[in-house]
């Protein structure tokens, strides 16, 4: 293999695929990045569950391939003195890297030892804007469970039906649902994608209207944005029916500016050092146009009043402030509706109009 390319583009490719490279694997080959030079230079990272492939332009004089330790390849390329980079593979699996007056020899492995990763897309295709998918993931992924005894809840439930793409996350304390209407979407899909892989997808997606093609199958799913593809195994099993846990009726409803509520809860959280259940933030509605946010800990106390428009019963209810903060940070609307089912029931957060998102947060029992 012999080629020249730009350091900036090569560093972008390395940084992208390195995110899924295994670390301290029992097989040292998986600690590396696969480089294949044919019509273009293709870099691949893989951790036995998720793989990322990055295709980039290069001036290739000799085709070839090699696996190089990701850590050292990244450090070398990042610190090269010139933007022009020359790569050459010798017969004994040594990668030569030249740039300016710098010369490196990195010992690698034969590409034949690298596992074969299926990046072939099936017939089912979901086409969505990259910015939309990125937003949908960011607005739900924080509610994914980290409980390894319940692996199904460690993923995002992706549902396609009735021209709507839906992402659902649930961890036993809160529920996050995000809908997006996609005209012409005629496929029916109900799968669970690992949260770790979805987090990488959100980082890879741009904030543009460029499209990403999603190709799910029975065992894996591929996200293709052109020069970058990500494939990951699906989580087997049946996700919980989130619709069954949404309250049908509410005793209390109120309208509030989410940025105002967020700022108030963040200020009340200053007194709370951890997620300890003994130290919640209390939401209290003494009248129909005021909400009082309070916290009281061993450090001190905080109290603040904010304006609301309430209908129904008054409430006084305790919550883990982090659960509210993570939701409210993702809402860009001027006003949302909160509903409560008594002082022991969950709090629902949804748009003033429409059903683009829905959040459910369980209270802390006193």
Assess whether pLDDT exceeds 90 at residue 92: no
Confidence (pLDDT) at 276: 60
The Cα-based distances of 183 to 121, 127, 133, 162 in angstroms read 21, 10, 15, 9
Range with lowest mean pLDDT among 70-74, 79-83, 222-226, 296-300: 296-300
Confidence (pLDDT) at 259: 96
| pLDDT average, residue stretch 310-319 | 94
Q: Give CA–CA dist 4/53, Å, rounded.
A: 19
Radius of gyration of the chain from Cα atoms?
25
At 154-167, the pLDDT tens digits run 999 999 999 999 99
Assess whether pLDDT exceeds 80 at residue 279: no
Give me the CATH code for the 247-361 domain, please. 3.10.150.10
Assess whether pLDDT exceeds 70 at residue 278: no
Let me know: does 254 contact 285? Beta carbons within 8 Å.
yes
Confidence (pLDDT) at 24: 77
Confidence of residue 118 (pLDDT cuts 50, 70, 90): confident
Confidence (pLDDT) at 122: 74
At 62-77, the pLDDT tens digits run 999 999 999 999 999 9
Assess whether pLDDT exceeds 80 at residue 288: yes
Let me know: does 325 contact 280? Beta carbons within 8 Å.
no
Classify domain 126-243 by CATH architecture. Roll (3.10)
Q: Domain ranges in the chain?
A: 2-113, 126-243, 247-361
| pLDDT average, residue stretch 46-52 | 93
Q: Give CA–CA dist 177/358, Å, rounded.
A: 5
Confidence (pLDDT) at 277: 62
Q: Give CA–CA dist 117/36, Å, rounded.
A: 13
For domain 2-113, give the CATH superfamily.
DNA Polymerase III, subunit A, domain 2 (3.10.150.10)
- Which tops the pLDDT comparison, 248 or 267? 267
Q: Do domains 2-113 and 247-361 have the same CATH topology?
A: yes
- ∠ CA 245-198-117, nearest 5°, is 130
Assess whether pLDDT exceeds 90 at residue 120: no
Of 180, 191, 193, whose CA–CA distance to 130 is shortest? 180
Assess whether pLDDT exceeds 80 at residue 335: yes
In whole numbers, what is the pLDDT of the chain averaged over residues? 94
Q: Which helix (H) or strand (E) holds 130?
A: helix 130-138
At 20-45, the pLDDT tens digits run 998 877 888 999 999 999 999 999 99
| Percent of all residues in the chain with a pLDDT value above 70, rounded to a whole number | 99
Confidence (pLDDT) at 218: 83
At 180-232, the pLDDT tens digits run 999 888 889 999 999 999 999 999 999 999 999 999 988 999 999 999 999 99
């Amino acid at each position: 293999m012999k080629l020249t390319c730009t350091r900036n583009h090569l560093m972008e490719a390395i940084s992208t695929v390195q995110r899924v490279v295994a670390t301290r694997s029992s097989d040292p080959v998986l600690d590396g990045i696969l480089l294949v030079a044919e019509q273009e230079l293709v870099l691949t990272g893989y951790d036995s569950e998720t793989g990322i492939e990055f295709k980039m332009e290069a001036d290739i004089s000799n085709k070839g391939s090699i696996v190089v330790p990701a850590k050292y390849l990244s450090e070398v390329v990042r610190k090269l003195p010139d933007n022009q980079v020359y790569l050459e593979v010798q017969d004994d699996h040594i990668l030569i890297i030249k740039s300016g007056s710098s010369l490196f020899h990195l010992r690698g492995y034969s590409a034949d030892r690298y596992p074969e990763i299926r990046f072939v897309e099936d017939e089912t295709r979901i086409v969505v804007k990259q910015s939309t998918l990125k937003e949908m993931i960011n607005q739900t992924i924080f509610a994914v469970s980290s409980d390894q005894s319940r692996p199904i809840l460690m993923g995002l439930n992706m549902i396609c039906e009735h021209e709507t793409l839906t992402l659902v996350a649930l961890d036993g304390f809160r529920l996050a649902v995000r809908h997006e209407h996609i005209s012409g979407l005629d496929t029916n899909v109900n799968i669970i994608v690992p949260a770790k892989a979805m987090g990488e997808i959100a980082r890879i997606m741009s904030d543009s209207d460029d499209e990403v093609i999603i190709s799910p199958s029975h065992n894996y799913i591929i996200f293709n944005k052109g020069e970058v593809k990500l494939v990951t195994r699906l989580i087997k099993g049946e996700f919980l029916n989130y619709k069954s846990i949404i309250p049908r009726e509410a005793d209390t409803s109120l309208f509030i500016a989410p940025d105002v509520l967020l700022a108030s809860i963040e200020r009340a959280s200053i007194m709370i050092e951890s997620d300890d259940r003994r130290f919640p933030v209390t939401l209290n509605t003494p009248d129909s146009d005021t909400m009082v946010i309070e916290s009281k800990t061993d450090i001190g106390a905080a109290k603040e009043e904010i304006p609301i428009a309430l209908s129904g019963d008054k409430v006084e209810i305790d919550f883990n402030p982090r659960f509210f903060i993570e939701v409210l940070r993702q809402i860009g609307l001027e006003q949302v509706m909160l509903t409560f089912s008594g002082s022991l029931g969950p709090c629902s957060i949804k748009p003033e109009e429409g059903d683009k998102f829905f959040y459910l947060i369980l209270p802390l029992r006193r």
